Amino acid sequence: MNMAVASPKSIKRHLIRPGEHAVTDEPMVLTTLLGSCVSVCLFDPVARLMGMNHFLLPMRNPASREPVLATDAGRYGLWAMELLVNELLKRGARREQLRAKAFGGANVLHEIEDTQPDHFNIGASNVAFVRQFLDRDGIPLIAQDLGGLHGRQIHFYGGDFSVFLRRIPRTGVKRVLSDEQRYQQSAIAAKQRGVPADFF
């Protein structure tokens, strides 16, 4: 999954933050940092289209009484995947030509879960969801690095649709998780104030 590029400085890069997705036909690099979150790199090699998302949870709790915010669409896997697939199809990709690579879903709270077996494992839930979604939609998962205890930094290159992955040391995972949680809280606060999340 290593990515070879001749002139890294000349390649356009775009950071995907929690709750976001991007689709492009440019030979650029989409990048993100993952803790318990999952990112799916989806592409159509024939139409030369690629996209990436970054979601925090498999789906919204249907029993939740909290209002549905605009940012929910990207924060929850079910909507994040639908948004990514639909945007690719709208841009000219064909469903039968889509291929996926998936990353993330680290069990960053494993110390707690070792002492509390019934504790909800967000990473494992995200991993199970993305595998089920892709299988249900008939999209081949051709590469993956999911689960485990380490965070990940991934770079998805549109030139040949390869992915470069770097594992984040255990000490850095907690920082990534903190960033994910802080972004989620900031997005909610921003929506309530009417401020676009892009400003964070």
CATH for 100: 3.30.1330.200
pLDDT band at 169 (very low <50, low <70, confident <90, very high): confident
Residue 13 is assigned to a structural domain of this protein: no
Domain span including residue 148: 19-199
Q: How many Cα atoms are found within 13 Å in the side-chain-facing hemisphere of 125?
A: 14
Strand order from edge to edge, sheet including 163-168: 13-15, 29-34, 151-157, 163-168
Helix and strand numbers, DSSP H then E, in the chain = 5, 9
| C-alpha Rg value of the chain to the nearest Å | 16
Examine residue 2 and state whether it is found in any structural domain, yes or no: no
Active site residue 41: no
Please indicate, yes or no, if residue 176 is contained in any of the structural domains. yes
Interatomic CA distance for residues 65 and 48, integer angstroms:
42
The residue type found at 32 is T
Q: Does residue 1 belong to any structural domain of this protein?
A: no
For the chain, what percent of residues have pLDDT higher than 90?
A: 52
**Banded pLDDT at 180 (limits 50, 70, 90):** low
CB within 8 Å of 181: residues ≥ 6 apart = none
pLDDT at 127: 95
Q: Is 132's pLDDT higher than 90?
A: yes
User: Does 5 reside within a domain?
Assistant: no
Q: Which of 16, 29, 37, 102 is catalytic?
A: 37
Residue 6 falls within a domain, yes or no?
A: no
Report, as an integer, the average pLDDT of 38-64.
84
pTM value? 0.76
Question: CA triplet 168, 161, 177: central angle to 5 degrees?
Answer: 25
Distance of alpha carbon 102 from its chain centroid, rounded?
Answer: 8
Nearest C-alpha neighbor of 31 from the set 197, 162, 186? 162
Note whether residue 163 is domain-resident: yes
Domain count, the chain: 1
